[in-house]
A and B are shown apart, each in its own frame.
Chain A
Amino acid sequence: MTDTPRLSLHVPEPEVRPGDTPDFSNVAIPRAGSVPRPEVDADPKSMRDLAYSIIRVLNRQGEAVGPWAGTLTNEELLEGLRDMMTLRTFDARMQTAQRQGKTSFYMQHMGEEAVSCAFRKALLPGDMNFPTYRQAGLLIAGGYPLVDMMNQIYSNEADPLKGRQLPIMYSSREHGFFSISGNLGTQFVQAVGWGMASAIKGDTKIAVGWIGDGSTAESDFHAALVFASTYRAPVVLNIVNNQWAISTFQGIARGGSGTFAARGLGFGLPTLRVDGNDYLAVHAVAKWAVERARRNLGPTLVEYVTYRVGAHSTSDDPSAYRPKTESEAWPLGDPVIRLKNHLIVQGVWSEERHKQTEAEILDVVITAQKEAEKHGTLHAGGKPSARDMFEGVYAEMPAHLRRQRQQAGV
């Protein structure tokens, strides 16, 4: 009775912390082109290995190789490169605008541009995304005007959301982009409901749910997987694993399951894991999962393995919890550079044209910014009316809100 060992609590820790040398040697990176591509209607049981591998198309030489290659033309890839470059430039300008006090808050995508930009290209008009705060690529690649995004970020008089939402919490029904919550995880199960509705109505549209690695720990994630698998909802469920949930490394949410993708196996879902910094691989996987949903074959769970190069938000400083040079050591590289190199190898792009395009995009973004700033920024110029604060709580304003509006004197 005295030989019973004392219990101890296991609290996972990342391999390295500030001051240490970054080390990703534990991240197994399969060779590009080495992961098989199952038929879209294949039995999920036949592809369980894919939850533990990483689908990659672009190799180190910038060539597109293997069974997942070939879903996009060079012309489409050039457009994709432009989308990612636009998002990166947009982020840089808005990050600076926040530092200049033109808005309260910003969240950038540095390193994760391929995920939302490439995924968007696999969707059809009418499909609906239920995004998190780090999928603005869905809007940019979907043709949403930059100036409208900025108006929202500035909460100015032209803000489509009338100043009610935190910056970057966009909403555009027309562009298949559901209103961002900010309460993590809630959208994941809502996407399943949207897909179920489309199936109930005998429609042809599909839904896409988005969640981060950290938020998979929320109950909404579990509920989404239960409902998606039970009703075989036409939905693609995307986990963007950027390694960090603010200061918490992904091992805290992942626990013992090995990968986030593996969470789908217990639900009988086809579950893919993909190089999130490989524009071609992201698109190929998106196309596969979207087709599966569209053909009424049910939901797919996808984990995008990527890295959050920047801070979580303008309120965060990653040097407090991870090595400063960690992003440089990230083994999957930079999505913009990788696609650029591929297009150079293809003979349709060059360093000069890239630089020239960078300048063109900067010009486009600055023009949009000037246009937006004519309508005001958070603390200067035109702003939404205080009266508007009371509108839209209900379809019709009830008496108690009319009284309060009167009291507020607006």
Chain B
Amino acid sequence: MVNIALPKGRLGEKVYDLFEASGYACPSIRENSRKLIFENESAGVRFFWVKPSDVAIYVERGAADLGVAGKDILLEYAPQVYELLDLHMGNCRMAVASKRGFRDNPDKTLRVATKFTNIAKKYYGDQCRDIDIIHLNGSIELAPILGLSDVIVDIVETGTTLKENDLVAYETIVPISARLISNKAGYQFKYAEISAIVTALKGQVNPG
């Protein structure tokens, strides 16, 4: 039995559709119930929903053999997992944004507000840029508006939220999409089952 952690929410539902189309359906998952774990014994899969940012933890610690996590989470937390497939879903980008008309002044420390401190540190570290990281857990867009930070590093999907707040994304750090990840030890012991799942999913993935 291969345990698969799916991210709760819209992306997770799309990911489940992909599994279903690949021959790994688990009809009970569509029933409106409070169940947490859904199993299809004949297909050899067991799905469970977890908070998207927790998927990598479940996989790294072996509670799930496979999981689907955003590249943002993988870059930020660097879990020791295999990244077996880009599902080309949940496409967006990690970007630097600030108030319209902002001019980056390189002779000053740049104040960066973000949820993704490791990504931001690495990005500016590679440029030898002195930054002051301000870790926020939400409403990141508020930071430059209220003068808490000069810029923000955050996920940009359509750019609507930025636009509505008169912010502009002016640098892309890295494109983001959902990835199929695997526990390293689980991969060794369930190699045949995991490879079959990867091959089946590959046939359904649309690189767009």
Q: Do A and B come from one complex?
A: no
Binding site for B on A (CB under 8 A): none
